[in-house]
Amino acid sequence: MIVDAHHHLWDLSVRDQDWITDPPMGVIRRSFLEPDFVAAAPSVSASVLVQTVCVPEETPEFLAVAASSDVVGAVVGWTDLTSAGVGDALAELTGGPHGSWLRGIRHQVQGEPDPEWLCRKDVWNGLAAVGAEGLVYELLTLPHQLPAARKTVAALGNVSFVVDHCSKPAIGSGSVGEWAELIRSLAVHENVTCKLSGLVTEADWKSWDVALLRPYFEVVLDAFGPSRLMFGSDWPVCLLAASYSEWLEAARELTSELSPDEQAAIFSGTARRVYSL
């Protein structure tokens, strides 16, 4: 059985998702609820539900979903890292209703115009508070933000970091070199793990294949090793380019030459350890 380390849910009757309003996003311009995920991913025994919007109300909603779900085993939520009260906010989340399901925090750094946003003093203070609360911090970054990420993980060695979507390499353009150098420099730090997720939506949505993805997979495999690499579907965002089963099959093919123990780490063990599942 598989652990899916990265998926989303949203209910458009509760809150709009303004990032899926453009016509190309039409495939996912509807609500996706926990039963939909369970139906789409029958081979998944546990999952990590990850935030979608930077509003404080979403995290308690997700914690309630985890508490009532047989599959969702952890939540990565959001809080304002730049707030002077970030420590209190985190304590309120973990100590509040269903707070034991909170295992991480994420912010959409990819949307920050300042490439050095992660290196701001107030952000570092917030990240230190995340680590002090026993939570991981997920790096949702683009390749040009990796130098700041590298400085941050080096400065905050007591915080556990997780790279989402391999930091979104430009697969559509076929670019590997600069991203590969940056991701390897980040992986030098043992307090960082990486999600094998989001690759199909960084490629051409209609023409991607496993051969196109393989150079990027090989970079993160070499950089992090199976013990610091974990499978994530990025469902339902992956539906822009692939069904759940198509991406899972591609990930299985990418890892087919690894040993059974190495495959087990990527598809279950690493996530169970990182998120205390």
Domains, the chain, ordered by start? 2-274 (3.20.20.140)
Amino acid (1-letter code) at residue 96: G
H, E, C per residue of 83-136: CCCHHHHHHHHHHCCCHHHEEEEEECHHHCCCCCHHHCHHHHHHHHHHHHCCCE
Summarize pLDDT for 74-119 with one digit per residue, the tens.
999 999 999 999 999 999 999 999 999 999 999 999 999 999 999 9
Sequential DSSP letters for 143-183: GGGHHHHHHHHHH-TTS-EEEGGGG---GGGT--HHHHHHH
Beta bridge partners of 7: 49, 235
pLDDT of residue 150: 98
Task: Note the pLDDT tens digit of each residue in 110-150.
Answer: 999 999 999 999 999 999 999 999 999 999 999 999 999 99
Give the pLDDT mean for 6-18.
Answer: 96
Residue 206 CA to residue 215 CA, distance in Å, equals: 19
